[in-house]
Every structure is written in C-alpha cells, then in structure tokens.
Amino acid sequence: MAIRQVRTIGDEILTKECKPVKEMNDRTRELIEDMFETMYESNGCGLAAPQVGIRKRIVVIDVDDGNQYVLINPEILETEGSQTGMEGCLSVPGKSGQVTRASHVKVKALNENMEEYVLEGDDLLARCILHECDHLDGKLYVDLVEGELCDTAAEEEGEE
C-alpha cells in the first residue's frame, strides 16, 4: 500500500469524465487500497480515483459508520429530501463552503469483487456519495457552493 499524491483544483484531470471499470485486476485492487490509505492519511471521508490521477469510476467512502464502501461504476438511482451543510474536498485544501444536496440517496455500484449492490445513505453518507460521484463526471463542489468559499480555521490546519 502507498499514499498517493492528491491532485488539487486547477489540475485538468479533476475536470474530466472518468471511464467505467471493466474488470478487476491487481492494479485496480492496489489502487483501491491506496485510495483508502490516502483518504485516511488526509482525514477525508471519501475519495474518488481522479483525485489521485486515475480516470476510472471508482470511489471509496468511510464516514465512520463502521463500513468501508467501495463504489465502482456507481449509478445514482434515487435522491430524496434536501440538506444544506458545509462541505470540503481534499482536492480543494484549506477551503469549505455551504452546499445543498439530497438528504437521502440510493446508489447502485459494484464492490471490489465486481459484485453489484445497492447502497442507501442519509445525511453525511448521502452527501459524501453525491460529492464523490460528481468527481467521476469532472465536477467539483466549488461550483455548487452557495455564497463564498471560506477558509477553514487556521488552528485546524496547524494540527498534525
């Protein structure tokens, strides 16, 4: 496993549509492991493959609900409700902004064994699924921010 470099806003790959994964292989397995490690290292709750420079439709999520979600070729089936809250992104370091998204989402995806499953999420998990799936279509949350992008607290940045 290895920590990969997180691409930041301005990098072209973050604006590109990603390609579906056709089969699982050792390289992709390693990518998924690295994505989790990179996400934990940065205290993120989700990471999409383009954020580490790979144009593939792969997302990893861990919102501290005891599960590690791998979503390959995710497809949003349903959204419901609405929530407004602060959002950040490892590719937009030091910033956050207010974004309104659905409060419930149902998504179909393949897991790391390329088996189809359906995941339903509320609140933070719903927000995270939608945010990460946007990355696969080259979209960043900064385009959805209501009002100004804020600087995150300096003391937060000063922590290890």
> What is the torsion angle, in degrees rounded to the nearest 10, for the CA atoms of residue 144, residue 119, residue 50 and residue 143?
0
Shortest Cβ 78–Zn ion spacing (Å):
22
Please identify, using beta-carbon distances, which residue of 15 and 25 lies nearer to Zn ion: 15
Residue nearest Zn ion by beta-carbon distance: 89
Residue 132 is among the residues annotated as catalytic for this protein = yes
Shortest Cβ 40–Zn ion spacing (Å):
15
- Of the listed 30, 87, 132, 157, which one is catalytic? 132
Whether the CB-CB separation of 133 and 93 falls below 8 Å is answered with no
Shortest Cβ 128–Zn ion spacing (Å):
9
Say how far apart CA 76 and CA 57 lie, in whole Å. 13
Please identify, using beta-carbon distances, which residue of 24 and 100 lies nearer to Zn ion: 100
**Chain residues that interact with Zn ion, rule: CB under 5 A:** 89
Say how far apart CA 23 and CA 132 lie, in whole Å. 21
Give the Cβ contact number of residue 97 at 10 Å: 18
Catalytic residue IDs? 132
